[in-house]
Amino acid sequence: EPQPAVIPPCPLPGKICDVVRSEPPRSCCGMAVAGFRTAKYQLPEWHRRNAGVYYKAFSAGEQAERGRAEAEQLMKHAAASAQRAQNYSKGTLSQRLEDLDFWRTELQKEIMELDAETNMLAAQKLRLERALDATEVPYAVVIDNLECRERRQPPDLVIDEVERQLLKESELIRDIQDLLKRIIIQATTQIRSNRIQKENCELDWSDKVETFHIDDKCVSYCSDSTNVQSHPSSVKFEENASTPKSWAQFSHDNISRAEQEKLASVQLRSLINNIIHDASEDLRMQRAATNEAFDTHCRELDEAKFRLEKHLEQILKDIGEEEANIVNLKKAIRDKEAYLKVAQTRLYDRSFRPNVELCRDEPQFRLVSEVEELTVFLEALKRKLMESEQNLKNLEETRMKLEKEIAVKANSIFIDRQKCMSNRVRYPVDLEVASYK
């Protein structure tokens, strides 16, 4: 700052006279003028008083001149200082505007990115909900398959590979549904956190926009402005005012928290994509395994039914042959009984021969041997007839069992192929694709 001009000192005028107050005044008037003497000054006093007045006037003029010079210098210094202070304040306000614009831009960018990320996460949440809805169809299909297979008849009512795969499939679908529900809750919580942080950033952004307008208006003020007024009370600092460090830290913390929420949201979206893809792949593989088990079991049922039908065909043929055999046996028995009756009648008639004619001759021995031989054959034929009838009965029972088994196999094939496999056509091909629909 310029130093004030220094006025060089000038010597004061010297004393004109010096009166010794101890000497009595000399008067030529004597006692007659004593009364006039008391009200008047002496000439040295008059000169001395005039010199004092001159000195005071000269001192006052010199002091006034020095004061004017100092005032002029002070006015110049004050004007320069005020201009410098105003320019400096304007510069600090301009710098503050740059800082405000920087943080405002950063906050606005963060708000837009966080809003876009929230919208994408909401879309992923919608995908989760659609995927969860899409799992209801395969779960209903699996439960319907299990209920249909409960209507199988013994001995086909077994825990086979198809049932194990269906139970595994139902458990997998329930696990996927539980996982999707947990991820939906997590996504809802993350969306809420994103929106809360977005609201905090928006509040900070709106405060900075308002502050930017205020400081921008302050920058436009100058000494010639007509809309400036005196506000003496505005000099004091507010107790709740922040510091530049805490002010910048506040916005930095808001942006940092927004970045953290955005990163968490991005990671959650990636996790959702992986979960939907993995769930879709697991369902597809399990669906293929269950269908393969159905195909294999249906082929086994077809083969078993075919074999049973072949056995039934053979049994029916055996039954026909056995019935013919029984008829032949019965005819043979009747024929042998006729021969036996002839032989017995001959023996009976020969028993009436008189006296010595009742002889054990060769015909007699031959007839007895014939009766015994026919009796043996008849007993053998009757036993064989009983065996044939029992065999026929066994064949009939076997036929009924085979027919029942064929009916059971046909029922199992109908349940697995017509009921279960036809219903599995409703099974969604891809859960990941279904999540977009």
Q: Taking residues 335-353, what's their average pLDDT?
A: 88
Decide if pLDDT at 1 tops 50: no
Q: What is the pLDDT of residues 373-399, one digit of tens each?
A: 989 999 999 999 999 999 999 999 999
Buried b / exposed e along 82-106 (16+ C-beta atoms within 10 A)? eeeeeeeeeeebeebbebbeebbeb
The backbone region for 355, taken as left when phi is positive above 0, alpha when psi lies in -120 to 50, beta otherwise, is left
Q: Categorize the per-residue pLDDT at 8 as very low, low, confident or very high, splitting at 50, 70 and 90.
A: low
CA dist 314 and 304 (Å) reads: 15
Q: Categorize the per-residue pLDDT at 273 as very low, low, confident or very high, splitting at 50, 70 and 90.
A: very high
Percent of the chain with pLDDT over 90: 53
Q: Is the peptide bond before 155 cis (omega within 30 degrees of 0)?
A: yes
Decide if pLDDT at 26 tops 90: no
Decide if pLDDT at 79 tops 60: yes
Question: pTM of the full predicted structure?
Answer: 0.70
| N-terminal to C-terminal alpha carbon distance within the chain | 78
Following DSSP, what letter does each residue of 279-305 receive, concatenated? Answer: HHHHHHHHHHHHHHHHHHHHHHHHHHH
Q: Report the candidate in 434, 127, 429 with the shortest Cα–Cα distance to residue 272.
A: 127
Domain positions in the chain: 304-352+359-436
Q: For all residues of the chain together, what is the average pLDDT?
A: 86
**Integer-rounded Cα radius of gyration of the chain:** 66
CA dist 374 and 41 (Å) reads: 210
Output the pLDDT for position 225.
75
Q: What is the pLDDT of residues 188-246, one digit of tens each?
A: 999 999 999 999 999 999 999 999 998 888 888 887 777 777 677 666 766 777 888 99
Q: Categorize the per-residue pLDDT at 18 as very low, low, confident or very high, splitting at 50, 70 and 90.
A: very low
Output the pLDDT for position 35.
52
Q: What is the pLDDT of residues 106-136, one digit of tens each?
A: 999 999 999 999 999 999 999 999 999 989 9
Decide if pLDDT at 24 tops 70: no
